[in-house]
Structure 1
Amino acid sequence: MNMITCVISVFIGLILIITGIILYLFAERIPRNLLFGFRIGYTLSSKKLWVKYNRLSGIVLVFIGLVTLFLPLFISNIMVLILILLGLIIVSTITLTYMASREAKQELSFETVGLGVAGRRIWRIMPVKPSPLRIILAVLPPLLSIILTLYLLPYLPNLIPVHYDISGAPNRWDTLNDFLKITFPFIIGIECLPLIFMLVEIKAPMIFYAPRLPKKKFVNLLYDIGIMMAWLVMLVYIDILYYAINNKHIIPMTMFTVLILIVVAIILVEITWLTIRWKKNWGMLKYNSYG
């Protein structure tokens, strides 16, 4: 059993279990918000759905947490463990979202959704289409990573450093085969998240709907967060490839840390501003008959 994998698994598993218990036990007491809970447009638009799907998501999180605790008994590769964990979370989220959407179409079908058109059906909210610039910025990270990997493949060694300590020295390696089968697809998947956000918004715009918030600003913020994270991941990936070949970092660790902090600060400021605005607008109105 890999000790690092075991420690990470226990840590993540306990967080998921504790979060799930909180969601289940305090579902009725947790107000609708943009930071904690099963936060999609369907649940934010209905107190009843908010409580129900927070409880369901709590049960799911406890289950996934328990699975995560026992995974190191069978899997030693941390990347494989994370991929399985993400797969469980994604499948569960899609399932709960689909269930909520079906129920919301019956419960909220004639409810005003804050777009200035009384009685507009909730599933007819228009999607916020990404601008051409955002599409280009979202496509570039996975595309460049794939091109760069194919170009550098003949030069990559048999062992690829994939994790570094605080000083920048590698402390975990993957074989080239494992790197191409596990780490590389994982990186590309993360870099594709902004494109997935865009596709989901176009196909199911209600998912990213937040009552009392300007939808365009909110969705564009989600796009921008995803794009910034994708570019950061791409920089990390380029640095991994560069170090594997040249045995030195292309980006100093201090500079990269500062860059991450700047991006996180921007994201937190934007989210805080939207949350304050959402609470202010929500507080000015009484909950509807479902809230």
Structure 2
Amino acid sequence: MAAPAVLLLVLFVGVPFASAIGFSLYNVRLGDPRPPSFMGLTQYARILTDPDVSRQFLSALLHNLIFAAVVVPVQTALALALALLVKKSIPGIGVFRSLYFLPVVFPIALVAIIWRLILARGDQGLLNSALAFFSGGTFGAQDWLGSEMTALASVMVLSIWQGCGFQMVILLAALQQVPAELYEAAELDRAGPWQRFIHVTVPGIQTTLVFVALYTMILSLRVFDQIYVLAKSGGGLNEGATRTVMYEAVTAAFDENNIGRASAISVVFFVIVVVLSLVQRRATRDKES
């Protein structure tokens, strides 16, 4: 019964990952008529010891960690708040659920265009125009995507806006499974709204919360699409302040024509993500028990 799923997993995950390990051991160039030359662990050594390569890799990894450290708790908390809000049985609540989920189905190219218009520099940006209007012209000249201080934060806001609806749907399904008798018992014990939330709601959806946080962390660590689209579509994004590990791997493969280095970066990053996921899972498992 599990054979079709296992076969697809091997074909689309196992084989590509094994190929990446193989490519990382060779000097592979796209379109090069010469056969790939064996390099062993040289690509990995360059990532960890070469000053230029390791500096770029560590800087990209730092951006990934900062991105995940902010997006995971903020997006999870916002998704839980929206799930609690749309859980109420009132007329027209389905419309709000659809609106909150709508950004999830938008293609990343459309999302990038929308936020490029919002965050454009000067009076061309919708956000700057709004700030200038409400502040009487005091604010409104900020280059949100081009500034080193705000470029990564702008990408964080974009990502939270697009992905929050998906986590909201998962948490909403979990909230609807919490027995109503538990809330009735808490009310009989004179528990207030906050006490019911802490002692009934959170324990009732704790497993789902752990899954959502873990899933969001993995997505945050492999963030790439929105940064690449903003950088390559003339959005004025500060690439130096927003480069991530996946961005480094893709640019190494297709801009620098170095498949071996890109594969080595992907393998190293895969190991880092697995380790962080296991650490987070162990910490949350201890809390659950």
Q: TM-score, normalized by length of structure 2?
A: 0.25
Larger radius of gyration: 2
| Larger RCO: 1 or 2 (CA < 8 Å, sep 6+) | 2
Q: TM-score, normalized by length of structure 1?
A: 0.25
